[in-house]
Amino acid sequence: MKTSKLAKSTLAVVAVAALVVGCDKAADPEPKAPADTAQATEVQCVSQAQDFEPQYIGGYPTKETADAMFEEYDYQAAVQFYLWGYTYLNALGMTKGFAEMGGDERSIYMFDKRVQPQHLYVTANSEVIYTLTRLMDLSKGPVVVEVPPKGRGHFIGMDERAYEDSGDLGPDGGKGGKYVVVSNEYKGELPKGYFPVRATYTDQLFYALRTFPGDEGSLEAAVERGKELKWYYLSEAQNPPQNSVVLIGDRAFSQDWPRDERAFEWLSEVFNMNKVPPSGLAHMGNMRRLGIEKGKPFNPDERAKKILKRAAKTAEAMMMSMAFRNRQGVEVFDNRQYDAVYFNHDNDFMGRSEDGELIYEGVEGRVGTFHQLCGNFKTVVPAKAGTGGMYMMTFKDKDGEMLMGSNTYRLHVPAKVPVKQFWQIPVYAIGTRSMIDNGQRSTLGGTDDLRRNDDGSVDIYFGPEAPKGYEKNWIKTIEGEGWFTMPRLYAPLEPILDKTWRWNDIEKIK
């Protein structure tokens, strides 16, 4: 009988990982870029795959082959679990960040002095007042959320799926009202006079509200409007408890989450507080051997710790590629460099056939979206002119080159942008996905006192130094560091919705 001839060198390759992508820190992988735009260190993945011929004895895999394959299986399972569960880290990070600000699980949290660079709140902007809850536990019973008028808000699961909008996009039509939120398993009757929300895939859900200083007349009035938000359990409706309001003000805040092996400990926490949706059952089955099991504390052994550390490194590089080099084909315009902010085209990441049958879950688009986005809309693009917002995202200039802080760029904004509210453009840092910490304003918009051209149009500049005479129209960028932007067109009108009017590309200038 022929025995295995598997050499030690081949075993080493397999143990490291047959068909594995290993990730290392390396210089910018695009040597064609000018030297002044390629200073930032990036994660570079180098394939370590080599030919591997499994060894068998009488049809049975050898012990060495089986050991190597199980090692590989567990590693690949950990990578895929990290990616599939990434959105949960986003929501858990927000709740943990709020807990650091004080209050309790019933508190309302408000960025009452606008979002600032010391607030690591992913791709927020400084033109609105954000008011949010922590995660609300639907397993304890239906939740009532009293929404104030004139705001715009969203009911968002811990999985970052949007289950309902409020305000002009929602059933209250901007008048405010009471919403009752239930889990998918809830079988009881819902009371009359409430707008119903059913969370299909999660028992943990939060509500995010925007109020607008421009609509309310002042920043202070928008803050007071946000304080009208309330939530309680339906069982408490006859005598609702008060929600304390925690004002974040100028204090440092972070919703960021770990992207190394600590992410797995967070994911263990997620599924000890939240139900596992059907699409996660296979993942949870795989992760039992690596220390994650519902109802038990996170407890990886030494072998598992090594696998999780390596898996997190690979998964992070995959995630960064999905976020900043996405291949989803979600261009907003056919001749511009802007992508839709939701790389899945929809609010729940589920692919459907023409007759509505669920046929896949869009993990790649979900991961790419929620690395640099927090929160979701049920109505991704407003169908009615003068409601909601038109959001878009770009990491590239007009020529398709990645935006770098060492360069100077110009954005030409035509006069009379067709919006009912206002337009606004922020600059975000690649590392934090939050407002760039440049020592000054990181956002400009149509309501600002800007230098305007004779025809009423505006030229906005981005770069390490302001062009002479355009200091008011300039957002400072940081040399050697990439940046991106997410322009908002609040309450877009028909020309934007039918795309006969298009937002211009950002142009690199000398």
Instruction: Using DSSP, state whether 232 is helix, strand or coil.
Output: strand
Question: Cα–Cα distance between 254 and 201 in angstroms, integer?
Answer: 26
pLDDT per residue as tens, the chain (510 positions): 444 333 333 333 333 334 444 555 444 444 333 333 344 444 444 333 346 689 999 999 999 999 999 999 999 999 999 999 999 999 999 999 999 999 999 999 999 999 999 999 999 999 999 999 999 999 999 999 999 999 999 999 999 999 999 999 999 999 999 999 999 999 999 999 999 999 999 999 999 999 999 999 999 999 999 999 999 999 999 999 999 999 999 999 999 999 999 999 999 999 999 999 999 999 999 999 999 999 999 999 999 999 999 999 999 999 999 999 999 999 999 899 999 998 877 788 899 999 999 999 999 999 999 999 999 999 988 889 999 999 999 999 999 999 999 999 999 999 999 999 999 999 999 999 999 999 999 999 999 999 999 999 999 999 999 999 999 999 999 999 999 999 999 999 999 999 999 999 999 998
Chosen CATH of 102-250 out of 3.20.20.70, 3.60.20.10, 2.60.40.1610, 3.50.50.60: 2.60.40.1610
Cβ neighbour number for residue 489 with a 10 Å cutoff: 25
User: Is residue 459 a contact partner of residue 470, using CB atoms and an 8 Å limit?
Assistant: yes
The 8-class DSSP code of residue 3 comes to: P
User: What string of H, E and C letters represents the secondary structure of 118-152?
Assistant: CEECCCCCCCCEEEEECCEEHHHCCEEEEECCCCE
Question: Cα–Cα distance between 319 and 258 in angstroms, integer?
Answer: 13
> What is the pLDDT at residue 23?
55
Q: Where are the domains of the chain?
A: 8-74, 102-250, 350-509
> What is the pLDDT at residue 457?
97
Kindly state the tokens that stand for 107. 């508190």
> What is the pLDDT at residue 19?
43
> What is the pLDDT at residue 298?
98
Helices (H) and strands (E) in the chain, counts: 10, 29
Kindly state the tokens that stand for 472. 């008011």
- The amino acid present at 212, given as its one-letter code, is F
What pTM was estimated for this model as a whole? 0.90
CATH fold for the domain made of 350-509: Jelly Rolls (2.60.120)
